[in-house]
Amino acid sequence: MTKQTVFRNARIVLEDEMVTGSIVIEDGRIADIDTGPNTVGEDFEGDYLIPGLIELHTDHLESHYSPRPGVRWMKTAAIQAHDAQVAASGITTVFDCLRMGSDEDGGFEKGEMRDMADALAAAARDNRLKAEHLIHLRCEVSSADVMDHFECFEDDAQVRLVSLMDHAPGQRQFQTMEQYTLYYQTKRGMSDEAFATFVARRQEASALYAKKHRDAIVDACAGRGITVASHDDATIEHVNESIGYGVRLAEFPTSLEAARASHEAGLSVLMGAPNIVRGKSHSGNISARDLSDAGILDVLSSDYVPLSLVHAPFVLSDGDDGMALPKAIAMVTATPARTVGLDDRGRIADGLRADLVRIHRKDGVPVVRSVWREGHRVI
């Protein structure tokens, strides 16, 4: 027997327009969208109805698993705490970032992230999760052991996105030594001599490992149909390298020229939603607002604040000269879905998954009132 659910009197945010009306859900799919009056179904009282948000890059699970230096929390408990927060933020599909490769920050032991992935799969099987969780492997290509970590995921179908990162000083995120000095020497209280040794070691590792690890990881992803992302591209040379590797997602470009070149080449340019809410980058690089104003921002990520993913599109649409809300919402729904090949979600359209979010907002921070995943209410 077909199970039918109706929502009425909603401001429905479609990909290209917003309409007032009702939708019908049947067996977890959107069956009909009607702009006429309706007296049947749950009354949204004029609240927004938007697609479930799609999060491509969040380190939030890691903060629950390792809440303090040297502390490891029970994996299932960490996963459930993370899941509850992302779902309550309107996120119905989340790509959890798992770190591959050790660096000067320590990282995780070989097998530790493999165990986390197994715990994620078990939590899904046990029906513990509100959102759908997929995996994003963040690969530090300048790390000597990144391939040891990466190979633990050789046959894991949960892996749908891989990013290529190199945090060596003097390039990409840390284009100037002033930024790097603040991030590492000042915060860690290193002497000048210790810091010089530290910098040299990181630069030597990048020169030795980065290219061969990029090549190996990209080859593996091509064979498995995994989307590849660049990370912190700063120059046209970086962008051209990314294009050559078949990258589809440009994460956090650090200069206007790199972002523009990526966007014009057809890559989806991703920046942090917290950057939009705060109005600036925490690292001092190009801001997401600058890219939005230039028309070259495509995707937003909550990064380290889950609620920012639903907040930022409304910030972008505020004011007389604000972005149209459907266009802003597409940055957290339709465009990330297309970028990673999730063609069954990210839009409110006939036949697609009924991943939906009810939003109440007069001004300020939006309130997530209800969340549905495949037609089932999870919040």
Q: What is the pLDDT of residues 251-304, one digit of tens each?
A: 999 899 999 999 999 999 999 999 999 986 655 578 899 999 999 999 999 988
* Residue 22 within a domain: no
Per-residue pLDDT reduced to its tens digit, 129-153 = 999 999 999 999 999 999 999 999 9
3-state secondary structure of 96: strand
* CA neighbor of 315 nearest in space, from 355, 287, 282, 334: 287
Question: Cβ-count burial of 209 within 10 angstroms (0-12 exposed, 13-18 middle, 19+ buried)?
Answer: buried
Q: Compute the distance between CA of residue 234 and CA of residue 248 in angstroms, rounded to an integer.
A: 16
* Residue 358 within a domain: no
Q: What is the CATH number of the domain that holds 240?
A: 3.20.20.140
* Residue 1 within a domain: no
19 and 12 Cβ atoms separated by less than 8 Å: yes
Q: What is the dihedral of CA 299, 304, 309, 311, to 10 degrees?
A: -130
* Residue 25 within a domain: no
328 and 316 Cβ atoms separated by less than 8 Å: yes
Residue ranges of alpha helices (H) inside the chain are: 60-65, 75-88, 112-125, 146-150, 177-180, 187-188, 192-224, 236-244, 256-264, 273-278, 288-293, 308-317, 325-330, 334-339
94 and 58 Cβ atoms separated by less than 8 Å: yes
What pTM did the predictor assign?
0.92
State CA 366 to chain mean position distance.
19
In order along its 379 residues, the chain shows pLDDT tens digits of 678 999 999 999 999 999 999 999 999 999 999 998 889 999 999 999 999 999 999 999 999 999 988 899 999 999 999 999 999 999 999 999 999 997 665 668 888 999 999 999 999 999 999 999 999 999 999 999 999 999 999 989 999 999 999 876 655 555 555 666 666 656 566 777 777 777 777 778 788 899 999 999 999 999 999 999 999 999 999 999 999 999 999 999 989 999 999 999 999 999 999 999 998 665 557 889 999 999 999 999 998 899 999 999 999 999 888 999 999 999 999 999 999 999 999 999 999 999 999 999 998 999 999 999 999 999 9
* Residue 30 within a domain: no
Domain of 144?
52-342
* Residue 182 within a domain: yes
3-state secondary structure of 139: strand
Q: How many structural domains compose the chain?
A: 1
* Residue 215 within a domain: yes
The CA radius of gyration of the chain, in Å to the nearest whole number, is: 21
* Residue 232 within a domain: yes
